Chains A and B, each alone.
Chain A
Amino acid sequence: MNEQPLREPAFLVLTALAGEPLHGYALVEDVLRLSDGQVRLHTGTLYGVLDRLREAGLIVVDREEIVESRLRRYYALTDAGIARLAAETERMRRNANAAASRLRRLRPAEGAI
């Protein structure tokens, strides 16, 4: 598989959308929550990520609403997006398991010193 690993903002946006379709500002807030306040997406960055994910067919526009005379667009995961998020999660789990396993082996050695 030649797919590049997802960058953190894209991964977090897909994760946020795995809950339910969300609009732009709700995505910013949800990503902030999911990342424990570490990732606060700027508007330009968010729409760059959303455009790329749409072009890749990982998300679609679910619906549009007018709230307080302003357009609000909701985004949702596609089947391809769900599959990609699952694959990416598995890849990260494998990496995390490998790191944890090495750290377990390292700790007794550190204790012996």
Chain B
Amino acid sequence: MRRRRDTPRTDGGARREPAAEALERRYRRLLAWYPAACRAANADDMLGVALARSAPGQRWPEPGEAVNLIVSGIGERLGGMLRQPDHRDTAAVLAIAGPLLLAAAAVRTMASPFLFTPTIAVLAAPQRTLVTAIAFAAWWTLVALAGMLRWRRVAATGACLGLAGQVVMLTLAVSGYAGALMVAYWQAAVALVAAASALGSLRSQDRPLSWRAATALTAAAAILAGWPAVEVATVTYSPITANSGTISDPLSGIAGWLNDGLFASILILMLAAIAALRPAVRRRAAVLLLPAFVTTALACWGFRGFLPGGLPFGLLMLSPFQWQVLVLVPVIGMVAGFIGLRFYERLLRRRGP
């Protein structure tokens, strides 16, 4: 067995921390990546092994060893979370809700009245948009169904492939207008959550959604998807020349009210679906959905660019600051939500059953 030698050195008279102490301190810092329970059980033993492996006079952990400890620590944390039934069941719920939302969004694009209005349709490249939307709607519906039927592997594989598709759409939208970009952005974010949740719920056994929750979610998705279809039915286009015409929309006067009302209905139905979950799952689902709500509000009212179908209205590009906000807000929202959840559950445990 190799032995470490402590080699205390001095620099210009100032006392320098001995190599062994410095190395141990740095290894302890790396072990902080592990969950507390894991550290309590193994930290001393692990530290002994890590230090025994080190060379004499070594002050810093080897890069490979450091990366291995960080990756293993994160793996333990994630694995520990997924071993808890509450986390697994929450993941199973999101593995259905995410694809359902994405399917509804795709149907919404398909039914967009703009695709049926020839003058605007030329700008929107309808054929490609329509085919892509049909493909995404069918795909995400199948993934949601697989999740509901508890075909976990099928749902996970489908969600990962769907995520790849949404990332491709996001990449194509990066150089485009803010409206299209933000639609692609939130869809990719939801797909990421759906794929991660589907993978996390692979070992979940229970039926993830009660009938009440499943009905509320499906109704919310149906409203989201169906509203443009109503618009399509009411909007008429009267051509004047080959490239121009007039659009008649009898609902245009109350469109704002209707849109707000329908979004409120969707929100209420989603809250009803969350309320139908058991308390521990409900709390986690709410925390995970919080960034989605915050990002939606930010894009809708903050950026004024959340347009259905990503059509080139509002010809504005995102500024670097807006980009940073768009990326940071959901992350900060989720971290803040989890910190709040941790404190709340600690409080509940203190109060007792």
Contact = CB atoms under 8 A, between A and B. Distances in A.
A55 B206 CA distance: 23
B56 to A, nearest CB: 15
B46 A24 contact: yes
Interface of A: 23-26, 28-29, 42-48, 51, 70-73
Interface stretch (B63-71, B99-107, B235-243, B295-303): B63-71
A67 to B, nearest CB: 8
Given A25-B53, A44-B73, A48-B75, A71 B68 contact: no
Interface string B40-76: 0010111111101100000000001100110111011
A68 to B, nearest CB: 9
Main secondary structure of the interface of B (DSSP, over half): helix
A47 B42 CA distance: 8
Contacts of A26: 1
B76 A43 contact: no
B44 A43 contact: no
A28 B49 contact: yes
Contacts of B48: 23-25, 70-72
B45 A24 contact: yes
B68 A44 contact: yes
Contacts, number: 55
The residue in B46, B47, B71 that gathers the most chain A C-beta atoms within 10 A of its C-beta is B46
Contacts of B53: 25, 28, 43
9 contacts: A24-B45, A24-B46, A42-B68, A42-B72, A43-B53, A47-B72, A48-B76, A70-B44, A71-B45
Contacts of B76: 48
Contacts of A23: 45, 48
A48 B77 CA distance: 12
Given A25-B1, A28-B53, A29-B1, A73 B45 contact: yes
A75 to B, nearest CB: 10
A43 to B, nearest CB: 5
Given A25-B1, A70-B44, A43 B73 contact: no
A44 B45 contact: no
Interface of B: 1, 38, 42, 44-50, 52-53, 64-65, 68-69, 71-73, 75-76
Which 10 A-B residue pairings sit nearest by Cβ, starting from the closest? A44-B72, A42-B68, A24-B49, A71-B44, A25-B52, A44-B68, A44-B69, A43-B50, A70-B48, A25-B49
B69 to A, nearest CB: 5
A69 B236 CA distance: 84
A28 B44 CA distance: 16
Contacts of A29: 1
Contacts of B44: 70-71
B68 to A, nearest CB: 4
B46 A45 contact: no
Contact of A46 (B49, B64, B71): B49
Nearest to A70: B48
Contacts of B65: 42-44
A110 B1 CA distance: 47
Nearest to B49: A24
A23 B73 CA distance: 21
A44 B72 CA distance: 5
The residue in B38, B68, B73 that gathers the most chain A C-beta atoms within 10 A of its C-beta is B68
B229 to A, nearest CB: 48
Contacts of A25: 1, 48-49, 52-53
Given A24-B46, A25-B49, A70-B44, A43 B1 contact: no
Contacts of B72: 42, 44-45, 47-48
Nearest to A25: B52
